[in-house]
Amino acid sequence: MDIMTLVNALPGAAAQGLIWAIMAIGVYITYRVLDIADLTVDGTLCTGGAVCIMCMLNGCNVWVSILAATCAGLLAGLVTGIFHTFMGIQAILAGILTQLSLWSVNLKIMGKANQAINVDKYDLLVSLRFIKDVPFYRNTIFVVAVVIAVVIAILYWFFGTELGCGIRATGCNANMARAQGINTSLNKVIGLMISNGLVALSGALLAQYQGFADINMGRGSIVIGLAAVIIGEAIFGKIFRNFALKLLSVAFGSIIYYLVLQVVIWFKVDTDLLKVFSAVVVAIFLAIPYWKSRYFTKPTVRKGGNLNA
């Protein structure tokens, strides 16, 4: 195992982690803000990549293609939101239904299971080739970092508005929010749309980065998103209290996840086991709060002899 091989691979892992961080921020909005486990993202990531690649192949500007991909993600979130609120389907099942539908939609968008794009023929925003030997303003890590900064700034502003606070209140306590006159159904739909729009944006950048969109590119993305959220909270939760910083911690969690993944690959672990590794990481970090409260928190004794664990 050559250490230089690992060192040379780390910038690419960091770039990929940054791209997936946008998807993880979308997962954070549903999982933490709305308190909904949305499985739409496994299909939406591919939708974003498919729309972006097909738009560019048909002559559209890269920014227009990314915008179209984001709008496609918004529509996917809208469908899940309608399933959940208007049709009364449970959130997790609504996401599964939309994800299942997107498989066929993505195939129709691309025309086949895989569509490639050549970095030499098209003016891509990010690419695997834009890691070394390029000006800093073309470097994938710099470009995606700027995109994440803009996304976090916009989300921080939005969730400070009346509508954004209503969405946060809906996720915190839907019954209390309704008692205050908040339209919780509308807020859930908007939250799901924002989340899936960000996931599709991540898919658009990921497809450019790897040079192709594939029908299976979104499979298991919810696990990666949850891993980034949980790792970020576990490491930075004590020091990052501000909402914007919490979003930033998710981005850091995604980068850490991919750096660790790269180290695992460097140790020549069977790549067929990487999905198992991801699931184990998420399971462990989800279990840490439970273990801490059950096994490492000392019981307190109130006056009068009452035991309060």
Q: Is residue 282 part of a domain?
A: no
- Contacts of residue 298, defined as CB under 8 A and 6 or more positions apart, other chains included, come to none
Instruction: For helices 140-158 and 243-266, give the axis angle rounded to 10 degrees.
Output: 150
For residue 280, being part of any structural domain is answered with no
Which phi and psi (to 5°) does residue 89 adopt? -85, 140
CB-count burial class (<10 Å; 0-12, 13-18, 19+) for 276: exposed
At 276, which helix (H) or strand (E)? helix 274-291
C-alpha 8, offset from chain centre: 26
HSE-up of 97 (CA within 13 Å, CB side)? 15
Q: Is residue 202 part of a domain?
A: yes
pLDDT, residue 309, reads 45
Q: Is residue 36 part of a domain?
A: yes
Give the integer Cα–Cα distance in Å for 16 and 248.
Answer: 16
86 within domain boundaries: yes
Instruction: List the pLDDT tens digit at each of the 309 positions of the chain.
Output: 678 878 888 888 899 999 999 999 999 999 999 998 899 999 999 999 999 999 999 999 999 999 999 999 999 999 999 999 999 999 999 999 999 999 999 999 999 999 999 998 999 999 999 988 888 888 999 999 999 999 999 999 999 999 999 999 999 999 999 999 999 999 999 999 999 999 999 999 999 999 999 999 988 888 889 889 988 988 898 888 899 999 999 999 999 989 888 888 888 878 788 778 778 877 887 787 788 778 877 665 555 555 454
Alpha-carbon span 71 to 66, nearest angstrom: 9
Task: Check residue 301 and give its pLDDT.
Answer: 55
Domain housing 33: 3-269
Domain membership of residue 87 (yes or no) is yes
From the list 204, 199, 198, 201, the residue with the least C-alpha distance to 115 is: 204
DSSP structure string for 160-174: TSHHHHHHHHHHH-H
CATH number at residue 166: 1.10.3470
Q: Does residue 274 belong to any structural domain of this protein?
A: no
| Crossing angle between the packed helical segments 221-236 and 41-57, to the nearest 10 degrees | 110
Residue 304 lies in a domain: no
Strands (E), 151-228: 212-214
Other Cβ atoms closer than 10 A to 153 = 12
Specify the pLDDT at position 196. Answer: 97
The residue among 205, 246, 208, 217 whose CA lies nearest residue 229 is 246
pLDDT at position 306 is 54
Q: Give the pLDDT of residue 265.
A: 83
Number of domains in the chain: 1
Residues 47-93: pLDDT tens digits?
999 999 999 999 999 999 999 999 999 999 999 999 999 999 999 99
Cα separation, 11 vs 139, whole angstroms? 10
One-letter amino acid for residue 103 of the chain: W
